Every structure is written in structure tokens, then in C-alpha cells.
Amino acid sequence: MRVPLIAGNWKMNTTVSEAIELVNEMRPGLDEITNVDKVICPPFISLAPVRELIEGSSIKLGAQNIYFEERGAYTGEISPLMLADLCEFVIIGHSERRQYFSETGDIVNKKIQAALRAGLKPILCIGERLEENEAGRTEEVVTEQLRSSLAGIDYLSSLTIAYEPVWAIGTGKAATGEQSNETISLIRHNISQQYGKRIADDLRILYGGSVTAENAAEFINQPEIDGALVGGASLKAAEFLSIVKQTSEIKQ
């Protein structure tokens, strides 16, 4: 049985004091729900203060990005060693990083390897762009992203995949539950062919893209979908909590 996971990607939102306020609002409700992994991913500079606030709770912490070198002259970057000290999860290959910061499959692969070496749990994001979707190339695109991201990696037990169709991120235009279940099942099949059925059966695959308290159940009700990577709606304590609660009820 895969434990469902709901991750909140706060992106480049919240000052440190706003992050503290948001965590204080979420903490009591989230902490009560124990059959779902709840991961919050604030900006780097809020990781340390947030970590202190959630200590002793069941809430887990994640970063939104990582660099693949351990240390050195890489001005402005944050290394796996620094993160391993602070948090458990790290989002890698988000489409906004691919789009605005030119992250290629090769870079994503290096980041995953580095995260795994440091004992971090990567949440690997993959997903097709609108024109690829419209051209019927979803399968081809996600297959290629899986291939390049996971090249040379033979250890998937701490990996989570988030299927996030790029056209659904931050647009308010979510995919349908059925559509995403189909693509996620294809991703699982792909992993199964490469790594074997047991590993594929154990791998958590999330949906992401305009998930709200209103539409969350449509995704969580799908058998192949193990949770969600939530952007905008994770910045509202009550809404994020509602998504986690619904997940807890549906997947129990």
C-alpha cells in the first residue's frame, strides 16, 4: 500500500514572517492527520525557521530546488549537503525551472543523483506542454523525461514522481482525473518495464496543476494517483488542510 502524499509548493511566495504565520495556521490541523504524508516546501530562506516550528509534528519539510555539486564556488546555489541537514524532500525538475532557468534533462538527472547521494527524497516533476498535449505527444514526452531524468539511477525507493501537465500549472485549468490517471498509469508501466513491477507498484506518483480544495477529490479518487503537488492552493491554510483531509478520507 502506497501512503498518499500531499506536497505544498509555495514557490517564490512568503517572506520569512509570512511563512511562519502560514505554518502556525496549518500546523494543528495537519498534524492530526496521520495516514497522509504532508510535505510543505517553503522558499530556502524559510526552511530553518519552519523546521523549528514543525519539530515534533508529523509535518515534513521539502525544498523547491537543489544544486548538484556538494560545495564550492557556485555563487547563490544551495547544495545537497546543506539541505540534508534541514529537510527530507526536494522538488526537482519543476517545469518552471525547466522553462525559466533552462534546466535540461541532464541537469535534472544530476540533481536527482546528488539528492539521493545526500539521503534526500526527490519529488521529480515531469509533464508535457500544451502544444505537445495537443499534438498527442504526451506519452512520448513523459517517456523521454523519465528516461533522461532517471538515467543511471537504479535506486527508486525514496523517489516520488509528480505528473504535472505544464498547461495546467498556475492556469486554473486542471487536467481531468481520468486523463491524469491514464498518464500516470503509463508512467507506472514505464517504470515497471525498466525497474520491475514491485518497484513500480511501490512508487508514489502525484498529480499537480491547479489542484484546489474543490477539484482535489477528482484526482485523489483515481486508483493510480497517490496524492498531489499543490501550488497556489497550498498558500491558504484552510484550503491546503481541506485537500489533505479529503485525501485522508478517500485513501483510508
Min dist. Cβ of residue 233 to ligand PGA (A):
6
Among this protein's residues, is 164 annotated catalytic?
Answer: yes
Min dist. Cβ of residue 11 to ligand PGA (A):
7
Between helix 16-32 and helix 44-54 the angle, nearest 10°, is 40
243 binds ligand PGA (CB under 6 A): no
List, in sequence order, every residue forming a beta bridge with 109; answer none if it has no partner. none
List 232, 237, 241, 243, residue binding ligand PGA (CB under 6 A): 232
| Active-site residue, selected from the candidate residues 94, 103, 128, 239 | 94
Comparison of 205 and 211: residue with beta carbon closer to ligand PGA: 211
Exposed/middle/buried for residue 151 (C-beta within 10 Å: 0-12, 13-18, 19+): middle
239 binds ligand PGA (CB under 6 A): no
230 binds ligand PGA (CB under 6 A): yes
Min dist. Cβ of residue 71 to ligand PGA (A):
29
List 37, 103, 128, 164, residue binding ligand PGA (CB under 6 A): 164
**CA 86, 161, 163: angle at the middle one, nearest 5?**
125
Comparison of 10 and 68: residue with beta carbon closer to ligand PGA: 10
Q: What are phi and psi of 251, to 5 degrees?
A: -95, 10
Q: What are phi and psi of 168, to 5 degrees?
A: -100, -5
Using CA atoms, how far apart are residues 221 and 27, in angstroms rounded to an integer?
Answer: 25
Comparison of 55 and 243: residue with beta carbon closer to ligand PGA: 243
| Active-site residue, selected from the candidate residues 96, 103, 128, 164 | 164
Q: Which of residues 170-199 bind ligand PGA (CB under 6 A)?
A: 170
List 41, 229, 237, 243, residue binding ligand PGA (CB under 6 A): 229
Using CA atoms, how far apart are residues 240 and 118, in angstroms rounded to an integer?
Answer: 29
Among this protein's residues, is 103 annotated catalytic?
Answer: no
Helices (H), the chain: 16-32, 44-54, 80-84, 95-100, 105-117, 130-134, 138-150, 177-195, 197-202, 216-220, 237-250
Catalytic positions are 94, 164
